[in-house]
Structure 1
Amino acid sequence: MILQFSLTVPEAKAVIAKAAASLPEVKKAFKSGRIFLKGGTTVSKFAEELVGIELGICGRVSPLGTKGPRHIKLDAPHSIVIENGEVRNVDDFEEEEVLKLGRDDVFVIGANAIDVNGNAAIMAGSALGGNPGKILGGLMAEGVQILILAGLEKLIPIDISSAVKACGRKKIDISFGMAVGLIPIIGKLITEQIAIEILAEVKCTVIGKGGICGAEGATTMVVEGDKSEVKKIFDIINNVKGSMHSGSEKSMLECIKSGPGCGDDLACIYKKGSLLLFD
């Protein structure tokens, strides 16, 4: 049997979250270990799937560019640890919590860019990448299992290493929003295509990208397999239809202040330390 469907970006995040939650390593860590979740809209959807809460969202890309949150103090934790099924806010001591992670524990993060080779990277708009930037390199050296949850709207037309070389916070002369660099991440990447093949014994093929009327960035796919397996995917797609972005309400508001690295409703341009506003 063959099924065709399209997923909007938020719907794809819901499918990714569902697939990630079903992984054996996640189930094991949830029952008797630790799962560290570093906030982002896809990881927030994963947090909803696991423990029914939304995370606070920090950086984001909006029509105004690469932006931060409007409120420095978020209304929900950005990073949490789930230990033996219990949730803890770890925003103020991420390094300490990462050091506690063992080989059977899981670290979950999103990405701002992925390439066709399965490589990924996150944008960094703070010095040294803020707290995530300070822990990622050491985390990968610890041998902890890392899950990267990222939709195919993050797929870039070049390899990650070329993208990393092209950008950098101190390299950019003019930026709409924050000037950012990229931090590469190595881990197990789960896109909506991979998620579908985790959730059922089917072959999933992407046949189109993009759309209109709210389907901008959407993924159109064809799934092939036994009728019972395809039916599983049909039911999952039916259930995620209409899904919205995940993230705590206050944290979803973007920065509107004028200043280096911020933006307002005109267009915030940051050029070598001077703020220029263009009507």
Structure 2
Amino acid sequence: MVAQVTLTPNEGKRLIAEAVATLPELQQALKNGKVLFKGGTTVSALTEKLLGIPMRISGRISARGALTSVEADPGTPHTLLVDRGVPKNVDQEILSAVRSLGPGDIAIVGANALDRYGHTAMMAGTVGGGPPGEGWTSLMTEGATVWILAGWDKLIPTTIEEAVAASGRKKTSIALGMSVGLMPLFGKVYTETEAFGILGKVKATVIGKGGILGGEGATVYALEGEEEEVLRLFHLVEQLKGTGVSGARDSLKECTGPNPRCATHEACVYGKRNTLRRRT
């Protein structure tokens, strides 16, 4: 049997969370080891599913550009460590949290770019991506398993190598929002395609992308398999329809103009950080 379903980016994030939450390796690490979650809307969908804890969202891409939050409770974690079942906000101790990880532990992060080869990268709007970025660079040396949650809305037509070369905070003269560089990520990538395969014995194929009237960025999938499996996943998608953005509500409010955080950003037209205006 073949069914066709459509997922918006927000719905896709919830699907990925539904699937990853069932993985035995994650359940084992949550109970007997450590799991580090780096805040983003896809990862927040997972922490909300597993722990009932929404993550603080910092950087984001909105219709206005690459921006950051303007109001957020500092007690809400942007980086969360679960150590043998006990969650802890480690925003002020990211490096030590990363260094505490080892084989059998899992670190989970989202991505801003995914290329056709399955390579991924994360945007950085501050030097080195700030403490989280510095921590994730160190992570690659510690032997923990890295999972990257990235929906097909993150797919780029170039390679990650080309995108990294084209980006750069200080090489950009003017930007809608903060200019960004890209930090390549390395690990196991989970898209909606993998999510469907985890949740049921089906083959999921992307057959179209894009949309209007709230469907912007949506992806259309063909699900093929035994009727019972296909229909079960079809009904799951129906339950996910209309899902809104994940993450702590207060952290979704974005900056609109000059504020103290502008000093850490480059080229932003809203914060009057662009070099073209500096010359006039």
How far apart are the structure 2 equivalents of 1:174 and 1:30? 43
Which consecutive residues of structure 2, in runs of 5 or more, have no partner in the other structure? none
Corresponding residue pairs, total: 276
Amino acid at match of 1:172: T
| Offset from partner CA, 1:169-204 (integer Å, 9 cap, x none) | 111111111111000000111111121111111111
Offset of residue 219 of structure 1: 0.6
Specify the alignment match of 1:37 in structure 2.
37
Contact 1:176 1:270 in 2 (8 A): no
| Offset from partner CA, 1:186-231 (integer Å, 9 cap, x none) | 0111111121111111111000001111110001000000122212
Specify the alignment match of 1:142 in structure 2.
142
Offset of residue 235 of structure 1: 2.6
Secondary structure at the aligned position of 1:216 is classed as coil
Contact 1:175 1:269 in 2 (8 A): no
Contact 1:68 1:262 in 2 (8 A): no
Contact 1:150 1:189 in 2 (8 A): yes
How far apart are the structure 1 equivalents of 2:266 and 2:131? 19
Specify the alignment match of 1:11 in structure 2.
11
Specify the alignment match of 1:160 in structure 2.
160
Offset of residue 85 of structure 1: 2.0
Offset of residue 132 of structure 1: 2.0
Specify the alignment match of 2:275 in structure 1.
272
Offset of residue 82 of structure 1: 1.4
Specify the alignment match of 1:22 in structure 2.
22
Specify the alignment match of 2:250 in structure 1.
250
Contact 1:256 1:262 in 2 (8 A): no
* Regions of 4+ moved over 6 Å: none
Normalised TM-score (structure 1): 0.93
How far apart are the structure 2 equivalents of 1:276 and 1:30? 53
Q: Counterparts of 1:40-51 in structure 2 under 5 Å?
A: 40-51=40-51
Contact 2:73 2:250 in 1 (8 A): no
Contact 1:177 1:269 in 2 (8 A): no
| Offset from partner CA, 1:36-79 (integer Å, 9 cap, x none) | 00000010001011101111000001111110111365461111
Specify the alignment match of 2:65 in structure 1.
65
Specify the alignment match of 2:219 in structure 1.
219
How far apart are the structure 2 equivalents of 1:145 and 1:231? 33
Cα distance change, pair 275–244 in 1 and its aligned pair in 2 (3 A): farther
Secondary structure at the aligned position of 1:142 is classed as coil
Offset of residue 136 of structure 1: 2.0
Offset of residue 150 of structure 1: 0.9
Specify the alignment match of 1:239 in structure 2.
239
Contact 2:267 2:275 in 1 (8 A): no
How far apart are the structure 1 equivalents of 2:278 and 2:213? 35
Specify the alignment match of 2:123 in structure 1.
123
| Offset from partner CA, 1:128-166 (integer Å, 9 cap, x none) | 211122122221122211110111111000000110011
Contact 2:72 2:250 in 1 (8 A): no
Contact 1:176 1:268 in 2 (8 A): no
CA RMSD in angstroms, aligned pairs only: 2.1
| Offset from partner CA, 1:84-115 (integer Å, 9 cap, x none) | 22211111001101111121111000000000
Secondary structure at the aligned position of 2:140 is classed as helix
Specify the alignment match of 1:80 in structure 2.
80
Moved more, 235-244 or 101-110: 235-244
Contact 1:36 1:108 in 2 (8 A): yes
How far apart are the structure 2 equivalents of 1:263 and 1:183? 19
How far apart are the structure 2 equivalents of 1:28 and 1:51? 15
Amino acid at match of 1:15: L
